[in-house]
Structure 1
Amino acid sequence: MSPGDEHDSFGGVGGSGQTRTRLPEGNSGDVYGGARRPVRSSRSLITVVGVVVVLVAAIAFANRGGGDPADAAGPSADTPAKTAPTAATGIRPVTGKNGQIPTGYAQDEQGAQSAATNYAVALGSAEMFSAEGRNEIVSAVYAPGAAAARQADLDKADSAKDLLTSLGLQADGTAPQGMTFISRVIPVGSKVESHTADRATVSVWYLSLFGLAGENSKNPVSESWYTDTFELRWVGGDWKVTKSTQKDGPVPVGRDQRASSAQDMADAVGQFGGFTYAR
């Protein structure tokens, strides 16, 4: 056997007299390129492309805006009756506004919860302390038969001189010069107590910020927790309030945080806009 043949039997290179040692695949010391890469099949490539196309289509659908208002509301038959998700659903909550009040809700449990939550925000706003703002809100939120009676009750209570004075407000319900009146409701959650095709009872749990922000304020902005329960009726193609009650809490334990200055509070309420809430 020639020397060249001997080297070939142990992996030599022809008859050059040089022996090449094969290292295990994947060893970083392989000077000939390491482990051989597997060939990617065309089927894998098609699968990856298909997944990307589906994701792009899903994102485009989720971010779709505008469109025909007809697809915005309406019964959501595929929504489980007893679920209480906090994540947004695929149904647009409202189709329009009555002044600044969102209106046009779906005739189902989800729509009733969205209506009650937004109505709680409107009824807890600073605009309720002026005659003009109160008239607009009550007309938009309450059913026609209940609006007149509720308007009279609110006018009697909220416009009372002694009440406004005790709050530090002026006779027209506005804040004195140099101060900012803050009355804002921040809903935490809602719950359907009962529901039929044209009637619903919904409870809304929320945090309320209320007071006057300014130097020497005798009624500084503080927080309170309440639950309002609304009796709603389907009137003229929308949910409207016929009756409401309020109770304290549930109230969480306060954390040890330093209170902000009156100026910071006034700036915040002016800079941070509210939301349209939806179940």
Structure 2
Amino acid sequence: MSLGDEHDGQTRTRLPDPGTPRPPARGSRSLVAVVGVVVLLVAAIALANRGDGSTPATSGAGPDAPAKATSTAATGVRPVTGKNGTIPSGFARDEQGAQSAAANYAVALVSADILKPDRRGDIVRGLFAEDRVAELEARLNQAYSKEFLDKLGLDEHGNAAPGMTYVSRTAPVGTKVTAYTDDAATVEVWCTGVFGTAGVSSTNPVTNDWFTMTLALRWTGNDWKVDSFSQKEGPAPVNTDRTASDADAIAQAVQEFGGFTYAR
């Protein structure tokens, strides 16, 4: 799935190369349909972020200071135990807490639930600073209109047609703090994920994507909350040869494998 705003570019879906023996190449119309849906998602979030006048957090190290490399090994700090609805809360007021919050929030921002009008408000209230909720909820409601959902093959409630399963699941690969103070932080989250509709007659097959989401966080209400966010494509690795699973296998995997709560 692709997000973007005035700060960044777009994300493109990359189709996995088929395994050996190679099946017939996907028709150009199918490819255009897949890329078209991703472009729609980019446009929707760009619309949601339009007019955002917030500025990223600044770091005492100066604008030209390189970001510090951090180990991907476990730090030993326990994950948060609190939740705001379905969204983890109660992150530590330090760089590690900001990274953990950003990873969790990235997952929620690109979830299938945010396309559902009856779930969107709860997600927005769980993620964003209180003074940003009304504005961002209105923008997302406008971006994820009935017409937009129609183009994804979803009904007005954000549900796929009978026999179909809409998939939008993101997995953070790593996080990086690019600016930090005790009151604000800017965190980049490198993500991969699977997005599309699983079903025999789907015109929007499930594909994978790689993107980096940047979240400007603010310490408010004794927790990290999102002030603004944006997304750009990549970094994306070279795809290995794999035989793509059929629609039923993808739908079953999404239903049987639960998602994770992320904490650094």
TM normalised by structure 2 equals 0.73
Residues 182 and 212, structure 1, Cα contact 8 Å, conserved in 2: yes
Alignment of 1:177 onto 2:170: no
Cα RMSD over matched residues?
1.2
Alignment of 1:106 onto 2:87: no
| Paired AA for residue 75 in structure 2 | T
Q: String of CA shifts for 1:63-112, please: whole Å, max 9, x gaps.
A: xxxxxxxxxxxxxxxxxx94512122221131300111000000000000
Structure-2 residue corresponding to 1:196: 181
Structure-1 residue corresponding to 2:241: 256
Structure 2: 5+ residue stretches without partners: 1-66
- Provide the C-alpha distance between the structure 2 equivalents of 1:273 and 1:243, rounded to a whole number of angstroms: 28
Residues 93 and 111, structure 1, Cα contact 8 Å, conserved in 2: no
Q: How many angstroms does 1:135 deviate by?
A: 0.7
Q: How many angstroms does 1:132 deviate by?
A: 1.7
Question: Which of residues 134, 147, 150 in structure 1 aligns to 2:120?
Answer: 134
Highest RCO, 1 vs 2 (Cα 8 Å, sep ≥ 6): 2
Q: Which ranges of 4 or more aligned residues in structure 1 deviate by more than 6 Å?
A: none
Aligned residue for 2:200, secondary structure, equals coil
| Paired AA for residue 157 in structure 1 | A
- Provide the C-alpha distance between the structure 2 equivalents of 1:151 and 1:161, rounded to a whole number of angstroms: 15
Residues 230 and 245, structure 1, Cα contact 8 Å, conserved in 2: yes
Alignment of 1:245 onto 2:257: no
| Paired AA for residue 241 in structure 2 | D
- Provide the C-alpha distance between the structure 1 equivalents of 2:215 and 2:166, rounded to a whole number of angstroms: 26
Structure-1 residue corresponding to 2:150: 165
When Rg is computed on C-alpha atoms for both structures, the one with the higher figure is 1
- Provide the C-alpha distance between the structure 1 equivalents of 2:81 and 2:68, rounded to a whole number of angstroms: 25
| Paired AA for residue 120 in structure 2 | R
Question: Which of residues 70, 73, 84 in structure 1 aligns to 2:70?
Answer: 84
Q: How many angstroms does 1:232 deviate by?
A: 0.4
Structure-2 residue corresponding to 1:75: none
Structure-2 residue corresponding to 1:95: 81
Structure-2 residue corresponding to 1:229: 214
Structure 1: 5+ residue stretches without partners: 1-80
Q: How many angstroms does 1:171 deviate by?
A: 1.5
- Provide the C-alpha distance between the structure 2 equivalents of 1:258 and 1:83, rounded to a whole number of angstroms: 35
Question: Which of residues 205, 217, 235 in structure 1 aligns to 2:202?
Answer: 217
Residues 118 and 157, structure 2, Cα contact 8 Å, conserved in 1: no
Number of equivalenced pairs? 198
What pairs with 1:108-123 in structure 2 (closer than 5 Å)?
108-123=94-109
- Provide the C-alpha distance between the structure 2 equivalents of 1:185 and 1:238, rounded to a whole number of angstroms: 23
Aligned residue for 2:93, secondary structure, equals coil
- Provide the C-alpha distance between the structure 2 equivalents of 1:169 and 1:131, rounded to a whole number of angstroms: 12
Q: How many angstroms does 1:162 deviate by?
A: 2.1
